Chains A and B, each alone.
Chain A
Amino acid sequence: EAQVTQNPRYLITVTGKKLTVTCSQNMNHEYMSWYRQDPGLGLRQIYYSMNVEVTDKGDVPEGYKVSRKEKRNFPLILESPSPNQTSLYFCASSFRGGSYNEQFFGPGTRLTVL
């Protein structure tokens, strides 16, 4: 089944404790992206990747890191999480970047930083 998977689905952590949220897609997509969704602010793009070893900042990259060493995986790293990073996070992939390409979203990761 074609899908985007994220792990963990739920995470409660404390300020400053490094964490990684994994994302994997099995559709051989070139473009992958991370979003955060907050009430009243909508979906905002954190980072995106056009292909292996090619990443770029979205609209809200501060406090996050990403890497794209393999085509299928795009982990999101929070080196020193803070409470303002409490949010619902989505990973997405598409065949290519740019217009016209359908984004396939993962099920989401709900992160709470205490």
Chain B
Amino acid sequence: TQLLEQSPQFLSIQEGENLTVYCNSSSVFSSLQWYRQEPGEGPVLLVTVVTGGEVKKLKRLTFQFGDARKDSSLHITAAQTGDTGLYLCAGPGSNYKLTFGKGTLLTVNP
């Protein structure tokens, strides 16, 4: 089973601060996805990164896929309270399985 390790597990910051969360593996992934999950809801896809070294931007969120396709990061600039949630990375495994990391629980305080 390919494992995805996310860090930090918990992150509490003030509105306006910048932050980075990480998704690491010892395995190579053909792609990685980032999802955000809000309390009481299912995860929602933010982005899919496919190419090693790829950088994608979604407003204040910047996603990067490592050159070796074993890791990814999510950077949020000037965090807002609406960014609060559980951030999950996910990657395809063997036989069309999908593996999720345990997530980073982000709290942005006003």
Q: Which chain A residues have a beta carbon within 8 Å of chain B's beta carbons?
A: 4, 31, 33, 35, 40-45, 48, 50, 56, 58-59, 90, 92, 97-100, 102-103, 105-108
Question: What is the interface of chain B, defined by CB distance below 8 A to chain A?
Answer: 1, 30-31, 33, 35, 40-45, 48, 50, 88, 90, 92, 95-103
Task: A97 to B50: give the CA distance in the assembly, Å.
Answer: 16
Among B33, B50, B98, B99, the one with the most A-chain Cβ atoms within 10 Å of its Cβ is: B98
Choose from B42, B100, B101 the contact partner of A107 (Cβ within 8 Å). B42
Tell me whether B1 and A59 are in contact (CB under 8 A).
yes
Quick one: closest B residue to A59, CB to CB?
B1
List A contacts of B33 (CB < 8 A): 102-103
CB of A50, distance to nearest CB on chain B (Å): 6
